[in-house]
Each structure stands twice: as C-alpha cells, then as structure tokens.
Amino acid sequence: DQQVKQNSPSLSVQEGRISILNCDYTNSMFDYFLWYKKYPAEGPTFLISISSIKDKNEDGRFTVFLNKSAKHLSLHIVPSQPGDSAVYFCAASAQGGSEKLVFGKGTKLTVNP
C-alpha cells in the first residue's frame, strides 16, 4: 500500500526553465511533508518542508505547494540548473515530523544545459 506516490519516475527540463515535481498521499494523518534530493551513492539531503497548516513554503529557488483537499503537493524549482539533476523524494510524516518518514519512490530530474 503506497501511502506516498510520485507517479512520474523521470522529468527532463531545460536549464533556466521551471521544474515541477508532483506527489500525492493517501493517509489523512500526515501533517508534515518534506522534499529530499539524492545524488548517486549519497544519502538523501533535506531540501524543504511544509506543515499542513500552510499551503506554500518558499526557500530561494525552491517552493513547495500543499493542497490538502486534493492530498497533493508539488515542488517548484525556478530557475532550474544543471546541478539540480538528481532524484527527488517526497516524504510525509505524522506528528509534525517527529515520527517515521514515509517516502515516495522518487522522481529523477535531469536539467539539460
């Protein structure tokens, strides 16, 4: 039972354009959502998070949007850079993030120069 779904295994965008990565969840108990970036042979690196009391959180080039009624979140990267090429994981947690994270399968982003 996949509680967190990333339906696009891969995404390719041109440098300077917007990258939009999507994530859906099914568990209504989730109240904290995070995005991690992962390079090969490294552990996931925390990118940005959002709590269920917000619908948007911004950090530099990265913005996460949360639509609770649709149980959907998205990560926007503007402008995209070649160094952003990595696998992006969406993760969700109950209890404000102090509990275990449930991850999606990831989306491989390729930013072409």
Partner 1 sequence: DTGVSQNPRHKITKRGQNVTFRCDPISEHNRLYWYRQTLGQGPEFLTYFQNEAQLEKSRLLSDRFSAERPKGSFSTLEIQRTEQGDSAMYLCASSLASLARWGDEQFFGPGTRLTVL
Where along the sequence are the contacts to partner 1 (CB under 8 A)? 4, 32, 34, 36, 41-46, 49, 51, 53, 89, 91, 96-106
Q: Using an 8 Å Cβ cutoff, are 112 and 45 in contact? A: no
Secondary structure class of 11 (helix, strand, coil): strand
Instruction: In angstroms, give the least distance from the CB of 106 to partner 1.
Output: 6
Q: Which residues of 52-106 form beta strands (DSSP E)?
A: 56-59, 62-67, 72-77, 86-93, 102-103
Q: Using an 8 Å Cβ cutoff, are 8 and 75 in contact? A: no
Please, which residue, 63 or 89, has the CB nearer to partner 1? 89
Please, which residue, 79 or 97, has the CB nearer to partner 1? 97
Instruction: In angstroms, give the least distance from the CB of 111 to partner 1.
Output: 21
Instruction: In angstroms, give the least distance from the CB of 31 to partner 1.
Output: 8
Q: Using an 8 Å Cβ cutoff, are 80 and 14 in contact? A: yes
Please, which residue, 15 or 31, has the CB nearer to partner 1? 31
